[in-house]
Structure 1
Amino acid sequence: MSHTAHIPSHRKPRQRASKSALRAGVAGGFLSTIAVAGAAGPAQAEPVTQTIEMPTIASNFSTAAAASAQATQQLALDIEKQADQDAAAEKAAKDAKKAHAEAVRKDEAKKKAEAAEKKAKAEAEAKERAERASRSTERTTLSASTGSSGSSSSGSSASAPSSSSNVSGSAASIVAFAKAQVGDAYVSGGTGPNAWDCSGLVQAAYRTAGIDLPRVSQAQSTYGTQVSLDNLQPGDILYWGGAGSAYHVAIYVGGGQFVGAQNSSTGTVQRSMDYDRPTGAVRVL
């Protein structure tokens, strides 16, 4: 028996290949981890530096964007303001043109109205002159006829009562004078020769017959004898209202008609008693 067979071996037993591979893998993995960690360290430092600089860039960009937006908004406001001003100016021009046209139209209308008024006034004056000339002729004729009537009455006084001839002559004179004033104007307080009020006309008509009546209608309505409206004679005084408180008077001219200075609208007119029925009448002659 060999001596070496009983001596224990000091060499380690051979490890299995799988265990060797595992240990190698672990070691390799550890070393790889260290390598990766080492490599990762420097790579992370650079992004930190870039992260610090980016807020400054973003802030500058935001400020520029805000300024641009504000400028754009101001430009839009300026454009809108200018548009409003242009519209206002255009409207003002149109209004001025319209006002001018209206002023021209009114001026032309005023001139036409003034021309028409002047023409009407001239025609009225011409007509009034013609009427005055006609009335003057009638009055001249009336005076002549009254004089001749007076002479005839004087000549026939022996054959007829003087009172009867005087009444007829006076009545004719009063009626003729009243009719000659038809067309004259009515003026309150008027006593002629071309404008009358109601009592002024009656007073003037009776004055042609030599009779001086009271001036106002109230007194004229009681000056004489009250007579019925069914028994009137030319020359009688008609009155409206109560006797002594009459507000209007006129002269009965025969044929159911009267002559009176009515009002400012109609002037002196001859009308039927049916137009405005009087209240009563007095006979002075």
Structure 2
Amino acid sequence: MIMRFMAFTLYDSHPCYLKLFTGGDGEQQPCWLIMLEVLDNLPHDLIYSENQASPWMEVWVEKQLDREGLSELYKPLQDSLIKRCVEILELDKSNTRQKSIVSKAWSKLFPKPQRCWLPTGCMKLLEVLHAALPKMSLIASDFSFLPDVKIPGERAPLVSTKQKDGRSSDYSNYLDAKGDADIFFPTDFWLLEQIDHYCSGWLKLPRDKSSPQGKKRRTITLDTSSFMEEFGLPSKTRTKDGYNPLLDDYKNTKFYLSVPTHNTK
């Protein structure tokens, strides 16, 4: 997957190859990394909560001998990658560990199951990239939202397949998707920024306060039209009737820019 979006070909003698694929120490040089519609295809993990006050649980998929289809199984959080992603997700919430009595009572009277898809594949990828290329400048573009998603849950994917007549059909349950189904995840760009800062060592989780802090990165998220107006040549793509594909299309996509800085404050 990494070879798909690296802006250059990594030969086995390249220092970045040595670091990324063999664990060796490569020469740390500034570089640009461009990821276009990569994040929507990376693996995600699903977590579940019985109500607003219950703890998150991992969702496992199992195949039972007495059933034809697949079913979900809920287990306490144990995967370290999922745990860290949940902690990052809840950094902007106040008093997440101390639920009020009123909140707990309300959740029991009116329970509302919670389902949340976590971009753990993105987090693992950024951990590897920041370790191998700490001076990289990153440009990522992807879907900020997807229309007509039928699968429940925050940041839920669009799961679709094509029928024999060429028409697309969307699934309402990801467990029903088999074989040639396409899966697209929307990107939560706020969460992407937090994960980026965490993987670079700048953002610290409560249990990581004792470890040294990394260098801060400059980051910004732009709508595609704003990005093209700033860095593209929209005057060259405007048609006679005023339509401009660079500015008028791709309304559900955004660009994320992240560059290193020597400023540690």
Q: Tell me the TM-score range normalised by the shorter chain.
A: under 0.3
TM-score normalised according to structure 1 size: 0.20
Higher relative contact order (CA 8 A, sep 6+): 2
Please state which structure has a larger fraction of its residues in strand: 2
Please state which structure has a larger fraction of its residues in helix: 1
TM-score normalised according to structure 2 size: 0.21
Structure of greater Rg: 1
